[in-house]
Copies of this chain bind each other. A is one copy, B any other.
Amino acid sequence: MFTHVACFRWVEGTDPADVDAITAALRRLPGVIPEIREYRCGPDAGLAEGNFEYSVVATFDGRDDYSVYASHPVHRQVISDLIRPRLAARVAVQFES
């Protein structure tokens, strides 16, 4: 298995409705990119100070399938249209698991 993790901070003043739109768009990706085995995303629950504000966890059979996801045009469009305009910081890791 191969796991992709991304954590985001949004620019100040980001509308929660815009974050909901990001969640809705991301949750459509498993229906579009069959290489995705499992997909979870959502806003931070607010339990710990200093946390980032949003995370995506995606699972694949291997790194090649992750690469299909990473470069898929529908995914890239979600990033360019919805995520990047609101992005203050992003941290990511991919790992064998």
Identify the A interface with B (CB < 8 A).
Answer: 1-3, 5, 7, 40-45, 47-48, 50-55, 57, 63, 66-67, 91-97
Contact = CB atoms under 8 A, between A and B. Distances in A.
Q: Of A54, A94, A96, which is in contact with the most chain B CB atoms at under 10 Å from its CB? A: A94
Given A2-B45, A47-B94, 6 more contacts: A5-B5, A5-B55, A42-B95, A52-B93, A55-B95, A91-B91
Nearest to A96: B42
> How many identical chains are in the complex?
2
**In terms of DSSP, what is the predominant structure of the interface of chain A?**
strand
B55 A93 contact: yes
Contacts of A93: 7, 44, 51-55
